[in-house]
């Protein structure tokens, strides 16, 4: 019996990878906005419930939000790449991540890829003869063309955009309604003590 030769896997072009990066960056920023808004609401809610009216220092708040932003970005890449090797950007550009031998991505490789992305200037590491990024080299993975449908990517973007709009109005409500009441009560307690 003759074996069918394995089809050659074509590496994704640099423009497709740049498109992936742009789309994924936008999705991550939207998710960070949503996550930090929710965290802000939770912090204000608990402060109101516990009658704690001093404002946390800017350094503390910034540190919390930076850690949260890093975790959101890490979680985004791990979640999507473990579940099929495709982020939203990869869905839309018809690409996916596989191991260098063409086998499906492992959790360990996904974790390496995701952590290495946080290295300074990692975005510029494709320069060279092989045009691979550090997160590809160190995790022994590559991004290849994939002919599956981009519909699922649009579905994810729709969900993120709807969540963003809801969060935007929630944040607007928080600034206009909750914050003045919170600050007026805090000022009243400070002035009358």
Tell me what pLDDT residue 41 has. Answer: 76
> Is 186 inside any structural domain?
yes
Tell me what pLDDT residue 171 has. Answer: 72
> Is 58 inside any structural domain?
yes
What is the 8-class DSSP label of residue 1?
-
Tell me what pLDDT residue 73 has. Answer: 93
Q: Using alpha carbons only, what angle is made at residue 50 by residues 49 and 53, rounded to the nearest 5 degrees? A: 100
Task: Please state the pTM of the whole predicted model.
Answer: 0.74
CA–CA distance, 103 with 8 (Å, rounded to integer): 13
- Helices 14-49 and 58-82: crossing angle in degrees, nearest 10, is 130
Tell me what pLDDT residue 108 has. Answer: 93
> Is 115 inside any structural domain?
yes
Neighbours of 20 (CB within 10 A): 22
Number of domains observed in the structure of the chain: 1
- Where in the sequence is the domain holding 182, given as residue range(s)? 14-191
Tell me what pLDDT residue 164 has. Answer: 81
For the chain, how are helix, strand and coil distributed in percent, rounded to 5?
65, 5, 30
> Which residues does the chain have with pLDDT short of 50?
1-2, 4-5
Tell me what pLDDT residue 179 has. Answer: 58
DSSP 102-164: SPPPPHHHHHHHHHHTTSTTGGGTT-SSS---HHHHHHTEEEEE--S-SHHHHHHHHHHHHHH
């Amino acid at each position: 019996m003759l074996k069918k030769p394995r089809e050659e896997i074509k590496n994704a072009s640099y423009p497709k990878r740049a498109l992936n990066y742009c789309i994924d960056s936008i999705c991550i920023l939207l998710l960070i906005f949503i996550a930090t808004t929710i965290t802000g609401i939770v912090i204000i809610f608990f402060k109101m419930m516990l009658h704690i009216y001093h404002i946390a220092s800017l350094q503390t708040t910034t540190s919390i939000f930076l850690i949260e932003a890093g975790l959101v970005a890490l979680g985004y890449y791990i979640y999507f790449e473990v579940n099929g090797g495709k982020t939203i950007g990869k869905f839309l550009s018809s690409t996916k991540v596989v191991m260098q031998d063409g086998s499906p991505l492992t959790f360990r490789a996904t974790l390496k890829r995701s952590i290495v992305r946080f290295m300074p200037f990692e975005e510029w590491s494709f320069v060279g003869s092989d045009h691979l990024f550090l997160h590809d080299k160190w995790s022994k993975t590559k991004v290849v063309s994939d002919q599956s449908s981009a519909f699922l990517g649009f579905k994810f973007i729709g969900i993120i955009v709807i969540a963003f709009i809801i969060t935007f109005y929630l944040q607007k409500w928080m600034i206009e309604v909750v914050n003045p009441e919170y600050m007026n009560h805090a000022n009243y307690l400070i002035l009358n003590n």
